[in-house]
Structure 1
Amino acid sequence: MFKTVSHIIVMALIAVFSAGLSAEEADIKDPAVAKLVKSMDLDVLTSFSTPAPGVTGYVVKRDSAKPVIIYGLGDFVLSGSLIDGDGNDLTRQYAQTQLPGPDYKGVAGKLEDDPHLVTEGASWQPEIYVFADPNCVFCHRFWKQTRAWVENGKVQMHWVMVGFLKPSSTGYAAAIINADKPAQALEAFESHFGDPNGPVQPQDSISATLQAALDQHGQWMSALGFSGTPGLLFKDRNGQWQGITGVPDQNQLGEALGIEEAE
């Protein structure tokens, strides 16, 4: 279909490497990709062919970060949109067919051991992990929406605090997590949402441990594919982990959790 590499437009060239590491050592056909994988401690999830002569696609990830697509062309590593002569964005197509779905179960297992969550509600009821920024108006809306469930012992909420919307977000998140009673601190903050003189004030100094925890929350949020806050992770009534970005319909969420009957 393609006679020359000029039929493919590569939007970003991120690196050129000499073949210092043999392709066989990394079980990758492109020496530059093998060297990049080793030097950056990446995991190669899969590889796939492309219609561009000599260009191979790779899905790589690092730790809990979101997987990405790169391309190998011998001693070159390429990243960005791969576009054919008809203007088709092949990378967009590969993102649908080659990238794995979010590892909901894996992240949930890590969250279970996270000591930096803000937990409220009944421990024997369905759990919802909520990635939330203190300055997020939609997170506030979801907090208000779930008050009856929490007060009536229908759910257990785990608030996974992140901080990126405003300069004060990280400080507020730290103040809530570090409070003697984090759930009460969250309630006090949300009850005065938007009030700069409210009872919970942003923490000025954040320990390295807590900052690392907040950074990890952000990485998990990205790995789950949540494009914003709130991001909800929960196990449905059939025992399957589900993820939702944004404020869901209350009745539909209740039905999914098995705490509300379908109307």
Structure 2
Amino acid sequence: MKKCSLYRPLALLAVTWPLSAMAEDWPAPLQALEKQGLTIHERFEAPAGLTGYAASVQGRELAAYVTQDEKYALVGTLVDAQGNDLTTDRLYELVKKPQDEELWKSLADSAWIADGDDDAERIIYTFTDPNCPYCKKFWDQTRPWVEAGKVQMRHIMVGILKQDSPIKALSLLATDDPAAALAAHQRGNEISIFEEYPRDYEDALAENHQLMQSLGLGATPSTLYQHDGKLSVMQGVPPADMLETIMGSPAP
């Protein structure tokens, strides 16, 4: 487990965005959109006298284009005469990519148990409940990549499925060798239940729950991985044809 994660405050999806202007300096149509729930992140150049603004609402990125006189705003995707999308790539660079980078840091700072080589070329985070049979199935699926040293699975422990899930998760986190304990549990051994824990472990488990909830994830396993340079999420046991994508390579 990443020990230092027990002593660092959880960084959720709140991002400190670089602002090119203070909120009160946005054109009037954007201020009106802000009152309707939009968050304006960055200004960017656009054709035809328009000015683009990267924004988001309820976790979804979108663009607003303000006319030259700053009296009107259009919300949506801008295309040119050839039908080329002039919006999506800009939104990814200005909104989604920074959000993904901040999320990846939050995952790294959570309380996880390492499963696999620390020098593995690929890291995957997955929310794991000790009582989850589907987590066990996913653990079995990943063995070829993990045992070959190609992938390190980082199991972000949660206790959400049964009454004794939290105490089992805490026992795995607090043991002297969490990786060996988790592997033994997934192979069918009972977890040695601890009677008492340092408060730090309880706080860490609570923060894992907060992180999972903040991402809108309601099932275990829920797995976050990089694909084509972008952060992707898979809830539940991946179908066989998705494994190579998640693991980043064919089975060794």
Aligned length: 169
Scaled by the length of structure 2, the TM-score of the pair is 0.59
How much identity, in percent, do the aligned residues show? 31
How far does residue 59 in structure 1 lie from its aligned partner after superposition? 6.7
The residue that corresponds to 2:242 in the other structure is 252
| TM-aligned CA deviation for residue 138 of structure 1 | 1.0
Aligned to 2:206: 215
| Mapped pair 1:126 → 2:122 | yes
CA drift at 1:161? 0.1
In the alignment, which residue of structure 2 is the partner of 1:171?
A: 167
Asked if 1:204 is matched to 2:199, the reply is no
Partner secondary structure for residue 105 of structure 2:
helix
Give the alignment of 1:1-263 within 5 angstroms: 48=33, 57-58=36-37, 98-101=57-60, 103-114=99-110, 116-122=111-117, 123-192=119-188, 198-236=189-227, 238-260=228-250
Residue segments in structure 2 that go unaligned for 5+ positions in a row: 1-22, 25-30, 40-55, 61-95
CA contact (8 A) 1:173 1:202 kept: no
Deviation string 1:60-104 (CA, Å, 9 cap, x unpaired) is 9xxxxxxxxxxxxxxxxxxxxxxxxxxxxxxxxxxxx83114844
Q: Retained in 2: the 8 A contact 1:133–1:164?
A: yes
Q: Which amino acid aligns with 2:232?
A: Q
Amino acid at match of 1:110: S
Alpha-carbon shift at residue 139 of structure 1 (Å): 0.8
Q: Is the 8 A contact 2:146 2:152 kept in 1?
A: yes
Query: What is the alpha-carbon distance in structure 1 between the residues aligned to residue 180 and residue 235 of structure 2?
Result: 25
Distance 2:137 2:149 in 1: 19
Which amino acid in 2 is paired with 1:135? Answer: N
Deviation at 1:166, TM superposition (A): 1.0
Question: How far did 1:143 drift?
Answer: 0.9
Unaligned runs of 5+ in 1: 1-25, 28-45, 50-55, 61-96, 193-197
- In the superposition, relative to structure 1, how do residues 48 and 256 fare at CA in structure 2: closer, same or farther (>3 Å)? same
2:181 maps to a residue whose letter is A
Work out the CA distance in 2 between the residues paired with 1:48 and 1:227. Answer: 31
The answer as to whether partners of 1:224 and 1:243 remain within 8 angstroms in 2 is no
Contact 2:225–2:246, Cα closer than 8 Å, also in 1: no
Higher relative contact order (Cα pairs below 8 Å, separated by 6+ residues): 2
Q: How far did residue 232 of structure 1 move?
A: 0.4
Instruction: Using the TM superposition, give the Cα deviation of residue 226 of structure 1 relative to its aligned residue in structure 2, in angstroms.
Output: 1.3
- How far off its partner does 1:256 sit? 4.6
**Contact 2:145 2:247 survives alignment (8 Å):** no
CA–CA distance in structure 1, aligned partners of residues 204 and 100 of structure 2: 19
Residue type of the alignment partner of 2:112: L
Any conservation in 1 of the 2:174–2:197 contact (CA below 8 Å)? no
Partners of 2:32 and 2:137 in 1: CA distance:
42
* Letter aligned with residue 222 of structure 1: Q
Give the TM-score normalised by structure 1. Answer: 0.57
C-alpha displacement of 1:141: 1.0
Q: Which AA in structure 2 matches 1:105?
A: E
Deviating above 6 A after TM superposition, structure 1's stretches of 4 or more consecutive aligned residues are none
Residues 204 and 224 (structure 1), Cα distance of their counterparts in 2 relative to 1, 3 Å cut: same
